[in-house]
Chain A
Amino acid sequence: MNTSATKTSMRDRFPEIGEMRAKYAHAFKGDPRQRRLMYSIGSGLVALYVFGLYYVGFSPLMLINGFGKFGIVVKAMMPPDPGSWDNAVVFTRGVVETLAMAFFGTICAALLALPFGFLAARNIVSNSILHHAARRFLDIIRGIDTLIWALIWVGVVGLGPFAGVLAIITSDFGAFGKLFSEAIEAADQKPVEGIVASGGSRLESIRFGIVPQILPVLLGQVLYFFESNTRTTTIIGIVGAGGIGLYLTETIRTYLWEETSFIIVLVLITVAAIDWISSKLRVAIIGARPV
């Protein structure tokens, strides 16, 4: 049964619908101006997409060729094989280093960002210039990708995982500062008022009025960032800032595909394990609600 047949039969059975349609066209079609706007935006987006595909050199032929070559690569990857026992040990140590970088970086960034989060929160610092300055500062830090920070830190402290840790601290500082200040702004003001009314100082009102409210939220966010940082640190080695990424790039650039797939499998297992542990911890800390 095709739809046009259904439509005509519906019209035959209910002729008044056709009458209504003719009489109140706007009710059936919606606001013509809004429709025109929607169509022009939509066609603009589609045109940009088509232009973009043309610009990046998309063609079915290159897609077939590329995926043909990619198929060869994938075939060369099977089975995942570290090559030798020594390599396996080196790669595992790389993964452990990656985890250590992610953990240390996340904790340090959270500790550094906490005071700054208060500074950027409107209900703590009422001076709007200071508050806006803090916000823009965080925006600038967040505007730079972790990988770019890693490049900069490699220039400062040299190659190695330490540069990667510093890169994670810097870029997470921006993200944590923003999230923390938002959590602080969303906190209920009544406990604060209660403490101030019963003679508590400003500091006491923050310590006993706001901190207990936001602490579980912050811990949830820190755990979530630890998860996402384990993913980020796996690639930070691409610019020489430590972790498994260095070996990953090396094996890909030298076409050691079986070792590449071994590293990828290792990373996937680690990330899955960290996700599992951190979701358990999150439920233990803040209960089963989303961050």
Chain B
Amino acid sequence: MTTTIHPLPDEQNSRLQAEYAATVAQKRRQFFLGMIIVALLVVLAAMGAEVDPHKFASNFWKFPRYFYDMTPKIGVATFFDDVAEWYWGLGKWLKLMAETLLIAYIGTITGAIAAFVLSFFASNSLSVNSWSKFAARRLLEFCRTVPDIVFALMFVVSFGLGPFPGVLALAIHTAGALGKLFSEVVDNIDIKPVEGLRASGASWTQQVRFAAVPQVLSNFTSYALLRFEINVRGAAVMGFVGAGGIGQLLIEYVRKFYYVDVGAVLIIIILTVMLIDYGTEKIRHRLIAMEGVS
């Protein structure tokens, strides 16, 4: 079957075409204007950040060279011996890596507990009164805006060198970051169980315990696991300011130009981080699956 498509009359067609062209042209103009503004900002930012293409070009060869220096000579015949020699400090490094993980773990748990308590006060649906809601929100904001390593710098002064300031810094930052996410989760719960309990005379704690917590627990755990991943990375650099973990050793090796050792420690950090990411992802997928069932 054939159908003939009747073209629009010329006059109507040309008007439509002109309007289409005008609309497209305006969109293009806006787009290019935006691009010009962004480009200008980029140039300004490059000047502010002392970006120097010449310096970059003349030094760039040092970058691959750095990684080349980090790998020792490994022969095929003497492979195992060479690797064993490369990882001469494996016991010490693994112990420090374990300490790093422990710092991240305690920091995350402590922060998550604080966030758990504060999130209910900071939420819209379950807050006690507007004054405590305001206070809780400002407190969480402050905790997450100041970077964890700045807290660590100050805690190292008052608590002394060692892992404890690192734990405290991570815990405070975690409380701020998780508290915001948690309170958003609390805001999104089904409010009917809460109202049911309130109507039957339950206290605030009972409302939270029996109506809110069962709804939010899996989401909370998922966010806490995500935060744990981030904190493992954060704990690895806490040592830069003397707050424990493997970072202390890493910065020492970098400053003393022990390239090969830097490479060995970096590989340990990368493998650990990848392993943790993989593990937490598996657990989170199971949590999501569980949520679907209940």
Spell out A's residues near B (CB within 8 Å): 45, 48-49, 52-53, 55-58, 62, 66-67, 69-70, 72-73, 96-97, 99-101, 103-105, 107, 139-140, 142-145, 147-148, 151-153, 155-158, 160-162, 164-166, 231-232, 234-235, 238-239, 242, 248-249, 252, 255, 260, 264, 267-268, 271-272
* B42 and A73 form a contact (CB under 8 A): no
Contacts from B to A (Cβ < 8 Å): 38, 41-42, 44-52, 55-56, 59-60, 62-63, 66, 99, 102-103, 105-106, 109, 142, 145-147, 149-150, 153-155, 157-160, 162-164, 167, 233-234, 236-237, 240-241, 244, 250-251, 254, 266, 269-271, 273-274, 277
Alpha-carbon separation in the docked complex, A96 to B263 (Å): 34
Query: What 5 A-B pairs have minimum CB-CB distances, sorted nearest first?
Result: A100-B48, A69-B158, A143-B270, A104-B45, A66-B159
Chain A residues closer than 8 Å to B66, beta-carbon distance: 152, 155-156
Interface pair B237/A103, CB less than 8 Å apart:
no
Bound-complex Cα distance A151 to B52 (A): 18
A262 vs chain B, min Cβ distance (A)? 14
What residues of B have a CB within 8 angstroms of the CB of A267 in the complex?
Answer: 146
Residues of chain A with a CB closer than 8 A to B145's CB: 231, 268, 271-272
> Chain A residue with minimal CB distance to B142?
A268
The answer to whether B159 and A239 touch across the interface, beta carbons within 8 angstroms, is no
Show 8 residue pairs from A and B whose CB-CB distance is below 8 angstroms, ordered by the A residue: A56-B103, A56-B162, A56-B167, A69-B159, A107-B42, A142-B273, A157-B56, A234-B150
- Closest A residue to B113 by CB, please name it: A49
Residues A55 and B102 in contact, CB atoms below 8 Å apart? yes
Nearest residue in B to A155 (C-beta to C-beta)?
B66
Contact in complex: B237, A143 (CB < 8 Å): no
Chain B: interface secondary structure?
A: helix
Min C-beta distance of B163 to chain A, whole Å: 4
Beta-carbon contact of B158 and A143 below 8 Å: no
Complex alpha-carbon distance, A271 and B50, angstroms: 22
Closest Cβ–Cβ distance, residue B233 to chain A (whole Å): 5
Which of B109, B157, B274 touches A252 (beta carbons < 8 Å)?
B157
Interface contact B55-A162, CB-CB below 8 Å? yes
- In the complex, A199→B41 CA distance in Å? 40
Contact, CB under 8 Å: B106 / A248: no
Would you call B164 and A57 a contact (CB within 8 A)? yes
Q: How far is the CB of A228 from chain B (nearest CB, A)?
A: 10
Is A162's CB under 8 angstroms from B155's CB?
A: no
Known A56-B102, A162-B52; further 15 A-B contacts with Cβ < 8 A: A56-B162, A70-B159, A99-B45, A100-B45, A101-B49, A104-B42, A107-B45, A140-B274, A148-B236, A152-B66, A157-B55, A157-B56, A264-B146, A271-B145, A272-B145
Taking CB atoms, residues of chain B closer than 8 Å to A58 are 164
Residue in B63, B150, B277 whose Cβ sees the most chain A Cβ within 10 Å: B150
Choose among A165, A239, A255 the residue that contacts B51 (Cβ–Cβ < 8 A): A165
CB atoms of A96 and B48 under 8 A apart: yes
Cβ 8 A contact of B254, one of A52, A145, A151, A242: A151
Complex Cα gap A160–B52 (Å): 11
**Does B50 lie within 8 Å of A160, measured CB to CB?**
yes
Query: CB distance B109 to A49 under 8 Å?
Result: yes
Bound Cα distance A109, B150 (Å): 25
Contact B106 A73 (CB under 8 A): no
**In the bound complex, do residue B50 and residue A242 qualify as a contact, i.e. CB atoms below 8 Å apart?**
yes
CB of A62 within 8 A of CB of B159, answer: yes
Complex interface: chain B residues within 8 A of A139 (CB): 274, 277
Contact residues in A for B102 (Cβ distance below 8 Å) = 48, 52, 55-56
B167 to chain A: which residues have CB within 8 Å? 56
CA distance A140 to B263 in the complex (A): 13
